Structure 1
């Protein structure tokens, strides 16, 4: 299926707001530009009227010019390769494409070919999630990665010593891409599954759950995360803004999860919660 690229001209102050709003409309991939950002949505979900209505709601802040372009799935690599640069996270984790040389002196090296999937590490939420992962014990653990995108967090979990990793995403092409990336990184035992939280029914509990999705999905799936998490084990969330944190803290508390800490970058948040118990 083809994708629609919407290029929006906006100041940094309003880019984050508009990205969050477009996320609610089904746009699932975003890329910053010098003058704003690009948002991507599958052709079947695209409605230009919805984009116009959204931008008009923020007309009080000025004009937000935009352009629309169709992008064939097979051309996606060409699009991201134009701007994809290798990344170093916390001076420990290298995230690169296979055409970049491996840097010297890093502890962890992840090769990502994102294709149509979200999660190269360049978005704040992915970086924050990895920074939080580096603080948690993965050795011998059973880990769940919800909304896995490229599979970068699941691959990070394996490199940090996780014994059993399950990655889940709702898009078939994302699942395909995550499997490919797992193979690139030698994660032959990493399982990637198509679906939402409903495909977890009957699963054994996890020692660690990672979920980098969006606020509404996190709120809706919090009971599932709590049910599948072993006592005293961490849940790491991202995909939301600082102003959304109290809402997530309240929902987590209702499900027996205690808030521990958070990291922020450009108003994006990754927070760690822990399952109550003994």
Structure 2
């Protein structure tokens, strides 16, 4: 199946808002551009009417220009290679493609070939999650990564010493990409599963659960996370805005999850909770 690329020319102040809105429509990969960003969606899921409806809601606030084109699946590597710059996160973590050199200063080195999967580290939520992961002891821990995308957070858990790692995604081609990236980083043992929260029901408890998805899915699936989280286990969440944090905190409190801290970048949030 091929993809639709929508390239939007928009003020940077609204780029994150529109990214989140398009994520709700099924767009699942985003690349920043000089004048805005490009968003990608499976061809059979694309609806120009839905896109226009989203943009019309912001017509009085910001001017948006967009263009679309169809991209063959085999050409995706060419698209991201043109735009994927290596990252250095938290002064310790290198995130790069296989064609980049490893920086000498990197304590942890993650190689990601994202294809069409979300999670190169360029989005604020991925960066924030990695920064929060760096604050937790993963050594010998059992870790779950929900909505794993490229598998970057699961791989980060491996770099930090996790002994067992499960990663879950809803798209079969994303699962394939996460497995490829896990192998690329010598973490073939990561158990990458196809599905949603139902796939973890009855699992042995986890020490750390990572979920970088979106507000609505987090609110719906948090009970499933809590059910497989060890007492005093850690839950790291992202994929929502600062204005959504109180709602996330309230839901967590209802489930016996204590709010610990959060980080913010360009209004995106990653929060840490701990089970009783």
TM-score scaled by structure 2? 0.98
Give the unaligned 5+ runs of structure 1.
none
Q: Say whether the 8 Å CA contact 2:201–2:228 is kept in structure 1.
A: no
The equivalent of 2:229 in structure 1 is 229
Q: Which runs of 5+ in 2 are unaligned?
A: none
Q: Any idea what the Cα deviations from partners look like across 1:179-219, whole Å, max 9, x if unmatched?
A: 11111111121110100001112211100000000111101
- Give secondary structure in 2 for the equivalent of 1:251: helix
Q: Which residue of structure 2 aligns with residue 111 of structure 1?
A: 111
User: What SS does the corresponding residue of 2:206 show, helix, strand or coil?
Assistant: coil
Correspondence for 1:143: 143
Alignment correspondent of 2:67: 67
- Shift of residue 270 of structure 1? 0.5
C-alpha displacement of 1:134: 0.4
2:173 aligned with 1:173, yes or no?
Answer: yes
Distance 1:194 1:232 in 2: 28
Matched position secondary structure for 1:95: strand
Number of the residue aligned with 1:267? 267
Asked if structure 1 preserves the Cα contact closer than 8 Å seen for 2:87 and 2:121, the reply is yes
RMSD across aligned positions (CA): 0.9
Shift of 1:8: 1.0
Structure 2: distance between partners of 1:26 and 1:48: 12
How far 1:63 moved relative to its partner? 2.8
The answer for the alignment partner of 1:26 in structure 2 is 26
Are positions 1:93 and 2:85 aligned together? no
Question: What aligned pairs does 1:25-44 form with structure 2 within 5 A after superposition?
Answer: 25-44=25-44
Give the match's secondary structure for 1:106.
coil
Q: What is the alpha-carbon distance in structure 2 between the residues aligned to residue 132 and residue 63 of structure 1?
A: 35
C-alpha change, 1:109 and 1:62, in structure 2 (3 Å) is closer
- Distance in 2 between the 1:207 and 1:29 partners? 29
Q: Could you state the TM-score of these two structures normalised by the residue count of structure 1?
A: 0.97
Equivalent in the alignment of 2:152 = 152
Q: Secondary structure at the match of 1:231?
A: strand
Give 1:62 deviation, angstroms. Answer: 3.9
Q: Any idea what SS the aligned residue of 2:106 has?
A: coil
State the alpha-carbon separation in 1 of the partners of residues 98 and 18 from structure 2: 32
The secondary structure found in structure 2 opposite 1:118 is coil
- Residues of 1 paired with 2:275 and 2:72: CA distance? 43
C-alpha distance in 2, partners of 1:90/1:59? 37
Give the length in aligned residue pairs: 276
Q: Distance in 1 between matches of 2:75 and 2:259?
A: 42
C-alpha separation in 1, matches of 2:143 and 2:73: 30
Q: 1:62 to 1:94 in 2, by over 3 A?
A: closer
> In 2, distance between residues paired with 1:64 and 1:116?
24
Q: Secondary structure at the match of 2:30?
A: strand
